[in-house]
Amino acid sequence: MGMRSETAMKTDTQTGNSLGAAKEPFRAPDGVTPMMAQYLEIKAANADSLLFYRMGDFYEMFFEDASVASRALGIALTKRGKHLGEDIPMCGVPVHAADDYLQKLIALGHRVAVCEQTEDPAEAKKRGAKAVVRRDVVRLVTPGTLTEESLLDARAHNFLTALFREPQSEGAEPRLALASIDISTGELIAATCKLADIPGELARIRPGEVLIGEDLASDAEIRARIGEAGAALTPCPRAHFDSARGERALKERLGVAALDAFGDFSRAELAALAGLLTYVELTQVGRMPLLRPPRRESADRLMLIDAATRANLELVRSNQGTRAGSLLAAVDRTVTAAGARELASRLSSPLTDVALVSARLDAVGYLADEPPLRQDLRDALKAAPDLARSLARLAFGRGTPRDLGAVGAAIGAAHALAARLISAGDTLGLPRELMGIAERLAQAPADVATSLSAALVEELPVNARDGGFVQAGYDVSLDELRALRDGSRKVIAGLQATYAEVTGIKSLKVRHNNVLGYFVEVTALHAPTLTAPPHAETFIHRQTMANAVRFSTTELSDLESKITSAADRALALELEIFARLTSEVLAAERQLSAASAALAELDHYAGLAELAVELRYVRPRVDDSAVFAIEEGRHPMVEQTLRREQAGDFIGNDCRLCGGDGDRNGAPSALVVTGPNMGGKSTFLRQNALIVVLAQAGAFVPAKSAHIGLVDRLFSRVGAADDLARGRSTFMVEMVETAAILNQATPRSFVVLDEIGRGTATFDGLSIAWAALEYLHEVNRSRVLFATHYHELTALADRLPHAANATVEVKEWREEIVFLYRVKMGAADRSYGIHVAKLAGLPAPVLKRAGAVLAELEKADGRPKPTDLAGDLPLFQAAAAQAAESTPSRLEEALREFHPDAMTPKEAIEALYRLRALLEDDG
C-alpha cells in the first residue's frame, strides 16, 4: 500500500476524524526540500503523535516534536536547515536503543508514530539522484498497544479497554459495556456493569489505555469515573463502536459462524469490542493480534471490589504504587511470568461461585499434599518461556529467532508436564482442574517443536536480520551460500598463491578495500612484470601508489561478486526460513494458546501450593452461608515482614461474624473494635478482608481454620487521604467512600471501616459514625468490622441485637504500655494516645503538658458516656427515618408558601408571628 493511500486511512483519534474520511490532498509549502515535504505529509496524517522518522540508523524528530522529545528524554536539541526562513529544531535517538526512549515517552503519556524506510536506498537512487526513500508509518505506539518485551512488565498484563454506554430507558441507572484486550498475549474479555462500578472495574483490569466514543467523551461524569482509574484516556470516533462490525470482526478472527460458544454477548458489548478491534487495527496499521477465545465476565460471578477498597487493601499495588508490599507480592511463588500474570488476574477477580472456588482449592490442596510432584512440576515450569507473548510478537511481525526458540522450548515443557501430571493421575487420581490442564498441555503441537528443533541453533541471535539462526545441514542451498561466504579467505589465499607462482613474484598480495574491492598488489619494482606479456592480459592496472601498484583480474571480480552475493542471498534465505517457520507456528495458534493458558494456570496452582506449605496456610471452607469464622487469622504482608526482619512471630486472632438472616450461633454481624493506636486494629481489619480475597480467589489462607460464606461485595474504608486535584478534602473523601458503602452493601457483603468521622468536629464525627454503624446493622445487614476511637459507640453493643465489642489488648507497666496484639471481646476503656506519642519521640515537656491538659479536659468534658447513651437515643430505623423525612411538618408547609420578595414589611412581620405560633403549637 502506498504512503498516500495508507496514511489517508489513518484516524486522528483526538480530533475524531472518522475512519476513511476524505482529506484534502497534502501540499508542501514552496521551497521545501523533497525529504522535508515527505516528513510534513506523514506528520500531517499523524498530528496527535510524536513522529519517529527513520533516517539511516536514527529516528529523527523535527519542529515541535523535537522540542517536546528533547525535554522529555533529556537529549540534545539541534538544528537542521531552514523552513520558511527559520531554523528547523531536530533531535534523534539511535534505532538500536529506540525501545528505551519509547518507554520513557509512553510513561509520560505521549503517543509515538514509528515511520520506517519501506524501500532500499539503492532502489530510490534508480528514480533519480534526488529521489527520496519511501517511508511509511508502520505502527502507532500507545500505552495500551505495547508488545515489545523491553516496554512491558513481564509479570503483569497490559490491557487496552474500550467503553460503550448501553441504551437505557428513562430513569434507569446507566450501564456501560467494557471490552479489554492484552495484545501482547491475545487475552480478550467483555463485561457490563453499572456506571457507579466503573472505577472499581477499571481498577480490577488496570488498563494502560481506555477508549471511549466522542459521545461519552463529552459526558463529565463518565470522564470523572474513568479518571479515577488513572489510565490514559483516548477519545475515538463514535462510528468505530458499531455492534455489527464487532460481531463480524470477531467471527472472522475466530473462524466461526456464531459466537454462542463463547458467551451471550450483548449488543453494547459487541459495540465495545468493535471500538477496541478497530483501534488496534489502526494503531498496528492493518496487522491484527492473535485472539484467544473471548471470555464474557458476568458481574454475578465475580466479587465486586471498588477502587478505594483495592487501594486500601493493596491487592496488586502498594500505597507507593509498586508491586512490592502488595498482597500479590506476598503470595507470589510462581516461577514464570505467565503464572504471575494469572495469579494477579485471579487475586483481582475473586469468584462468587462455590463450585468454581472449590475446584480451584482442590487443585491447590492436591499439589500441597504431593511435595515430589509439586517440585517436579515447578522445576519443569522454570524451563517454559513466555509462550503467549512470543506468539503475539510473531503474529505482529515483530518476532525474533528467540521467539521461535521460545515456542519450541514451551512445547517441550508442555509435553513433559503433561506426562508428569498424567502419571500422577494414574497413581493418585487428579482433581478436575489439573486433569483439564494436563489435557491442554498434551495437545501442544509436537510437529511444530520438531520443525523448530531441526531448524534452529541453540544460541539464537536477538534479531532475524543478523542471520546465523538456522542450523548447518538444515538447508543445502543455505549451506552452499554460507560456505562461499565464509570460505572466501581460503579461496583468496589460494588465488594469491597461484598468482605468486605464475608470476614468480613471492611478495604479491591479494587485498581488499571498499573502493577497489579485491585487487592484486605488488611493489613498484615488480609492476613491469605484470604489465608486460604474457601477464598483461590477466592483470589489469587499477592504481599506482608511491611504493605499490594495484591490479585487478576478471577472476577476482567474479569471486567478489559471488562472495558479496552469497552473503546477501544467505541472509535472504534465512529470512525466508524464518517466515516459513513463523507461518507454521501461527497455523497452530489455537493449540499453542491453549497450552500457554494451561502453563500459566499450572504455575499459579503450584505456586499457591508452595505458599501454603511454606507459611502454613490452610484450606478455607467456602459455602453459601452468611458465616465468617476465622481462627488465628494472620495478615499475609505483615507476617512476612516480621519473618524477614526476624522480629518475632505474628500473633493470630479469631474473628466470628454472621450477616443477613444466617444461623448466627452467637456470632454478631457487626463488631466494634476499640483500642489504642499501634495496637493492631487496622491490621486486624485488613487481614480479615484479605483472607476473604484469597479464599474466593481459590487460594489457601493464613489462619488455623477458616469458614467463609460467599461475599458478593467487599468494602474497605481504611486510612486517610485527600484528593486535592478534584477539590476533595480528607474528610470529603472519607464521606464519599462511606456513602458508597452504605448505598451498595448487601447482606452478603463484607465491610471494613476504620475511624469513620475522625476528620471533623468530635460531636459531628461521633454522630456520623453512630448513624453509619446503625444503618449497616439494620438496613444493609452486612458483616461489619468497625474500628473506632469513639468509645461511646461501644454502647451500641447493648442496643443492637447483632452487634458486639472487641478490643486489642495492652499491658500497663511502670507508666509504659506493652502492645500484646491480641483481640479479645469487650471494650477498651482508654485510648493511650499520649503513650503512643511518647513512643513516637515527642519531647518530654510536650508529653507532660499534654497529660495535664488531658486531665483538665476530662474533668470538663460534657460528652455523654456510653452508659448514658444506652437508653436515650432511639434505634435507627430506615423506614421510619425515611417516612419522617418524606412528610413535611406544618412549619415547613407554611414556609413553602411564603414569597419574601413580594411581601411588604408589615406582611413579613405578620408571617413571622404566624410561624412562631406554629412552632409553639408543635412543641
Same domain, 486 and 556: yes
Determine if residue 679 is labeled as part of a ligand binding site: yes
Question: pLDDT (tens digit, 9 = 90+) per residue, 730-756?
Answer: 778 888 888 889 999 999 999 999 888
* CA–CA distance, 243 with 892 (Å, rounded to integer): 52
Indicate the residue type of 463: N
Same domain, 534 and 603: no
* CA–CA distance, 635 with 652 (Å, rounded to integer): 8
- 883 found inside a domain: no
- 353 found inside a domain: yes
Question: pLDDT (tens digit, 9 = 90+) per residue, 49-100?
Answer: 999 999 988 999 999 999 999 999 999 999 888 887 788 999 999 998 898 9
Closest CA to 585 of 159, 603, 577, 277: 577
- 361 found inside a domain: yes
Determine if residue 678 is labeled as part of a ligand binding site: yes
Determine if residue 675 is labeled as part of a ligand binding site: yes
Mark which of 78, 112, 141 sits at the end of a domain.
Answer: 141
State the average pLDDT over residues 845-859. 67
Same domain, 647 and 794: yes
Question: pLDDT (tens digit, 9 = 90+) per residue, 904-913?
Answer: 777 777 777 7
* H or E segment to which residue 440 belongs: helix 432-442
Same domain, 553 and 538: yes
pLDDT of residue 10: 37
Computed over its alpha carbons, how large is the radius of gyration of the chain?
37
Number of domains composing the chain: 6
Q: Can you give the CATH number for the domain in which 796 is found?
A: 3.40.50.300
* CA–CA distance, 36 with 178 (Å, rounded to integer): 42
Cell of 456: 534452529
* Residue 711: domain span: 617-869
* CA–CA distance, 331 with 347 (Å, rounded to integer): 10
Same domain, 658 and 568: no
Determine if residue 682 is labeled as part of a ligand binding site: yes
Q: Can you give the CATH number for the domain in which 266 is found?
A: 3.30.420.110
- 369 found inside a domain: yes
Mark which of 89, 120, 141 sits at the end of a domain.
Answer: 141
Same domain, 781 and 862: yes
Same domain, 160 and 205: yes
* CA–CA distance, 405 with 872 (Å, rounded to integer): 77
Same domain, 26 and 136: yes
Q: Is the pLDDT of residue 2 over 50?
A: no
* CA–CA distance, 615 with 232 (Å, rounded to integer): 39
Question: pLDDT (tens digit, 9 = 90+) per residue, 182-201?
Answer: 999 999 999 999 888 899 99
Q: Can you give the CATH number for the domain in which 93 is found?
A: 3.40.1170.10
pLDDT classification of 857: cutoffs 50, 70, 90: low
- 723 found inside a domain: yes
Closest CA to 282 of 107, 521, 21, 466: 21
Determine if residue 405 is labeled as part of a ligand binding site: no
Same domain, 343 and 353: yes
Q: How would DSSP label each residue in 175-233? A: EEEEEEEETTTTEEEEEEEEGGGHHHHHHHH-EEEEEEEHHHHT-HHHHHHHHTTT-EE
* CA–CA distance, 783 with 765 (Å, rounded to integer): 22
- 633 found inside a domain: yes
Question: pLDDT (tens digit, 9 = 90+) per residue, 514-533?
Answer: 788 889 999 999 999 999 99
pLDDT classification of 254: cutoffs 50, 70, 90: confident
Q: Is the pLDDT of residue 854 over 80?
A: no
Same domain, 114 and 99: yes
- 592 found inside a domain: no
Same domain, 422 and 542: no
Indicate the residue type of 279: Y
Q: Is the pLDDT of residue 257 over 50?
A: yes
Determine if residue 143 is labeled as part of a ligand binding site: no
Q: Can you give the CATH number for the domain in which 343 is found?
A: 1.10.1420.10
State the average pLDDT over residues 280-290. 88
Predicted TM-score (pTM) of this structure: 0.82
Residue 29, SS3 per DSSP:
coil
- 230 found inside a domain: yes
Same domain, 105 and 47: yes
Mark which of 614, 649, 664 sits at the end of a domain.
Answer: 614
How would you list the strands of the sheet with 207-213, edge to edge? 232-236, 207-213, 159-165, 175-182, 187-194, 295-296
